[in-house]
Chains A and B, each alone.
Chain A
Amino acid sequence: MAAIEAREVDFTKRRKRKKVWTRIGFWVLIVLIAIFLLFPFYWAINSSLKTEPQLRMTPATFIPRDPGTGDISITLQNYTAAFQNRTFIRAILNSSIVAVSVTVIALVIGSFAGFALGKLRFRGKSPSLYLILSMTMFPQVAVLTGLYAVILNFNIPAIPSMILSYMLFTLPFTVWVLTSFFQQLPTDLLQSAQVDGATPFQSFRMILLPLTAPALVTTGLLAFIAAVNEYLFALTFTTIEPDARTIPVAIALFTGQVARQDPFGEIMAAAVLVTIPLIVLVLIFQKRIIGGLTAGAVKG
């Protein structure tokens, strides 16, 4: 009797120990994932707070330290330099203009098309859907030479060129996601609006649009981020117009105030400066973004 009891105690002990080890393993995994996700950005912040001699220190330190004494010493000079860098400030302005215009145009035009595809019946709907879906996969590089030739021939400035050409990847995506949102909206609502004497356009503006506002925010945000991120067209179109460079191009071609090779302290400061607002934006809307990405990718 006593032996059985002892064995049982032993057994529960072992189970408990096993549970503890699983818990520890689990948390180790979580910490590893967190390091994997965040370390490069931490490294950028770390480097951005170092002076030129500190950046040259070998081995590199994991927090900014004084080369002589080894004490922690932080500098903000890279940030001041980045703020004084006219190309960089200009790039932020350019990117804002381009991304905001792209978002607004894509949403306006896209919601028209999305409404037609999601709620109206017409001949050729199925081919239109196929067309839009295939356009979401269209490789930009395929039209690079063609667009660039047009821009050079007609002397179109870089900023309008970017705004128009970014429709290539924002518009099909916007239409596709909005179509699926419109499809989900109840039809009864529209019909009762008609009974009340609303024209189709009125019901679109007064009933559908307010209902789809959340979808518009999500797709708009995704279009905005895609437009800020775009690099191939921006780099090509600003080749002969450096003043129109956007953030990615400016960061890629970053040069210091003194001509020298790649001032990484300043580059990292600029990188941190443009990343923080984006991260804040993304965190505020995180639920919506995940929903939008899933709708864009999983909706087949």
Chain B
Amino acid sequence: MCLYTEPEDLKLAVAAPEKLKPQRQSQLAKGEQKLAYWLLVPTLVVLLAIAFYPLGSVFYSSLTSERFASAADAEFIGLQNYSELLSLTITELPAQVDEATGEVVVDPDTGETQYESPVQVLPREPRRYSEVFTFGWFGSQYVLGASDADFILSIIDTLIFTVATIVLEAIIGLGIALTLNVPFRGRGAMRAAMLVPWAILTAVSSRIWEWMFIDTRAGFFNVVFQKLGLSDGQTPFLADESFQLPAAIIIDVWKTTPFMALLLLAGLALIPSELYEAAEVDGASKWSQFKSVTLPLLKPTLAVALVFRTLDALRVFDLFQIVFAQKKYSMASFAYYELIDSQRLGYSSAASVVIFVMITIFAFIYIKSLGIASD
């Protein structure tokens, strides 16, 4: 309820309030509306220039074969980029048959059936498919093939990364928040320490962890693994397929859990202490207090924090590009390398659109479920 008015109008209104009211209201409203639009113009112009226009041009170029530094003109190729990015096939791997005996080949040591290699089986027309991964299902062996295995793998990896980091951050963040919610000496110092990982630039933290994960015992993790007898101290954490995602998850959890814990601490501070006192009087144990007071009241804060973290994790770029370069892609780093290294503007745009659509769907669900409290 804020009314903007010129002083003259105000005097008139005071002199004859009843008679002039409707006219004054509309005039006032008009003035206020006009001012509001003028104040919004700069923001809208900037967003138009750097968000909506480029987004439109990305949609358009995703339908073309445009390349940088290419003499060939960009052609309109419809959805070809998308079908190249997203084509999938699941093919059954036939068992290897010995040509001489006509029997199925079995590994003499393990007794397991040997299957044809995926390369032999996957279709080559209309486009060549390569292996994403193989899996067993009801006694048969299958291969998931994709025309762009790197992109499909980047989607799978980004989704695993997102789910794993969110779950770990929620659990560890909650643990830290509950611990620091107890008053103790040095609590202020701990709160300050929690801001340290948050304040470190992502590029910087990625390089620090890259150094800690280095593949000799000059690196922290190889020293620890060797001391614990888990490895020979030469584990290539960042090059070995089975360690790559766990390493990325640890790095991200370290960087963002404190942020989560700070948000949860703020949420905990809002819970009235009378509720705990009442529960205490009723003889509720600490665990049932946590279950029936803390968790339900913390849920809104937790939900919002998780949603923001999910959106961040889905578009992760810095960490993957710095730590893995092209050894492992996130969705965003895949789009980056297609643009800068392969110079395939059209194809990279299509990958960006896929990412955009995925994130938009998620964000839309989120806004719908929260709603905005506007007057």
Residues B254 and A139 in contact, CB atoms below 8 Å apart: no
In B172-214, which residues have CB < 8 Å from any A CB?
176, 179-180, 182, 184, 186, 190-209, 211-212, 214
* CB-defined contacts of B61 to chain A, threshold 8 Å: 145-146, 149
Query: Do A112 and B55 touch across chains, with their CB atoms under 8 A apart?
Result: no
Q: Which residue of A lies closest to B219 (CB)?
A: A60
Q: A37-B258, A126-B372 are in contact. Are A142 and B55 (CB under 8 A)?
A: yes
A283-B195 contact, Cβ under 8 Å, with A187-B2, A251-B201 = yes
Instruction: List residues of chain B with CB within 8 A of the CB of A254.
Output: 207
B195–A252 CB distance below 8 A: no
User: Quick one: which of A59, A119, A165 has the most chain B CB within 10 A?
Assistant: A59
Min CB gap B138→A, angstroms: 39
Q: Is A128 an interface residue (CB 8 A)?
A: yes
B199 touches A279 (CB 8 A): yes
0/1 interface trace, chain A 187-224, chain B, CB 8 Å (1 if under) = 10011001101001000000000000000000000000
Q: Is the CB of A41 within 8 A of B179?
A: no
Shortest C-beta distance, A164 to chain B (Å), equals 6
- Interface digits, B3-33 against A, CB 8 Å rule (1 contact, 0 not)? 1110100100000000000000000010011
B97 located at the interface, meaning its Cβ lies under 8 Å from any Cβ of chain A in the complex = no
Instruction: Check B130 for interface membership: any CB of A closer than 8 A.
Output: no
Docked Cα-Cα span, A246 to B363, in Å, equals 30
The reply to whether the CB of B259 lies closer than 8 angstroms to some CB of chain A is yes
Given contacts A37-B196, A144-B335, A197-B7, A43 and B201 within 8 Å (CB-CB): no
Chain B residue, CB-CB nearest to A281: B199
Any chain A CB within 8 A of the CB of B164?
no
Least CB separation from A110: chain B residue: B43
Asked if B339 and A148 make an inter-chain contact with CB atoms under 8 angstroms apart, the answer reads: yes
Q: Which residues of A contact B339 (CB under 8 A)?
A: 144-145, 148, 236
A294 and B50 alpha carbons, distance in the complex (Å): 27
Q: Does the CB pair A60–B4 fall under 8 Å?
A: no
Q: At the interface, yes or no: A81 with Cβ under 8 Å from chain B?
A: no
Q: Is A135 an interface residue (CB 8 A)?
A: yes
Contact A38 B353 (CB under 8 A): no
- The reply to whether A298 and B266 contact each other, CB–CB distance below 8 Å, is yes
Q: Is B68 in the interface zone, CB < 8 Å from A? A: yes
A30/B184 in contact, CB under 8 A = yes
Q: How large is the interface on A (under 10, 10 to 19, 20 to 34, 35 or more residues)?
A: 35 or more
The segment out of B142-150, B241-249, B276-284, B313-321 that lies at the interface is B313-321
- A-side contacts of B55, CB under 8 Å: 142-143, 146
Residue B230 lies at the interface, judged by CB distance under 8 Å to chain A: no
Shortest C-beta distance, B299 to chain A (Å), equals: 12
Q: CB < 8 Å: which of A43, A60, A300 contacts B371? A: A300
Please determine whether B219 and A298 come into contact, CB atoms closer than 8 angstroms.
Answer: no
Contact partner of A34 among B190, B305, B314, CB < 8 A?
Answer: B190
A137, B359: Cβ atoms under 8 Å?
yes
Most buried by A among B1, B39, B317, B367: B39
Among listed A13-21, A71-79, A268-276, interface-contacting one: A268-276
**B161 interfacial contact with A, CB 8 Å:** no
Is the pair B372, A300 in contact by a Cβ cutoff of 8 Å? yes
Q: With CB as the reference atom, state the residue of chain A lying closest to B331.
A: A141
Q: Which residue of A lies closest to B45 (CB)?
A: A109
Bound CA span A226–B289, Å: 38
In the complex, identify which listed stretch (A3-11, A82-90, A285-293) lies at the interface while the others stay far away: A285-293
State which residues 34-82 of A face B: CB under 8 Å.
34, 36-38, 40-41, 43-44, 47, 55-60
Q: Does B153 contact A (CB under 8 A)?
A: no
* Residues of chain A within 8 A of B331, CB atoms compared: 141
Instruction: Report A-chain residues with C-beta under 8 Å of the C-beta of B104.
Output: none
- Cβ distance B15 to chain A, nearest Cβ, rounded Å: 15
Question: Which residues 146-192 of A have a CB within 8 angstroms of B?
Answer: 146-150, 152, 164-165, 167-168, 171-172, 175, 187, 190-191
Residue A24 lies at the interface, judged by CB distance under 8 Å to chain B: no
- Contacts A112-B39, A290-B266: A275 and B199 contacting too (C-beta < 8 A)? yes
B204 touches A142 (CB 8 A): no
**B270, closest chain A residue (CB):** A298
Stretch at the interface among B88-96, B119-127, B344-352: B344-352
On whether the beta carbons of A264 and B211 are closer than 8 Å, the reply is yes
In this assembly, does B137 line the interface, its C-beta being within 8 Å of a C-beta of chain A? Answer: no
Most buried by A among B2, B308, B349: B2
Q: What's the Cα separation between A300 and B366 when bound, in Å? A: 10
Instruction: Answer whether A232 and B349 are a contact pair too, CB < 8 Å, given A142-B356, A146-B55.
Output: no
Task: Give the docked Cα–Cα distance between A113 and B47 (Å).
Answer: 12
* Contact of A123 with B by CB under 8 A: yes
Q: List 20 A-B contacts (CB under 8 A).
A: A33-B176, A40-B197, A119-B2, A120-B4, A120-B36, A122-B36, A129-B372, A139-B311, A139-B332, A141-B356, A142-B355, A144-B348, A152-B68, A165-B50, A168-B50, A195-B10, A231-B321, A267-B211, A278-B200, A286-B192
List 6 additional contacts besides A113-B42, A141-B335; criterion CB under 8 Å: A33-B179, A126-B372, A141-B356, A194-B3, A279-B199, A282-B199
B binding-site residues for A, Cβ under 8 Å: 1-5, 7, 10, 29, 32-33, 35-37, 39-40, 42-43, 46-47, 49-51, 53-58, 61, 68, 176, 179-180, 182, 184, 186, 190-209, 211-212, 214, 216-220, 222-223, 226-227, 233, 254, 258-259, 262-263, 266-267, 300-301, 304-305, 308, 311, 314-315, 317-318, 321-322, 331-332, 335-336, 339-340, 345, 348-349, 352-353, 355-356, 359, 363, 366-367, 370-374
The interface of chain A, by Cβ under 8 A from chain B, is 26, 29-30, 33-34, 36-38, 40-41, 43-44, 47, 55-60, 109-110, 112-113, 115-117, 119-123, 125-126, 128-135, 137-150, 152, 164-165, 167-168, 171-172, 175, 187, 190-191, 194-195, 197, 200, 225, 228-229, 231-232, 235-236, 239, 247-249, 251-252, 254, 264, 267-268, 271, 274-275, 278-279, 281-283, 286, 289-290, 293-294, 297-298, 300
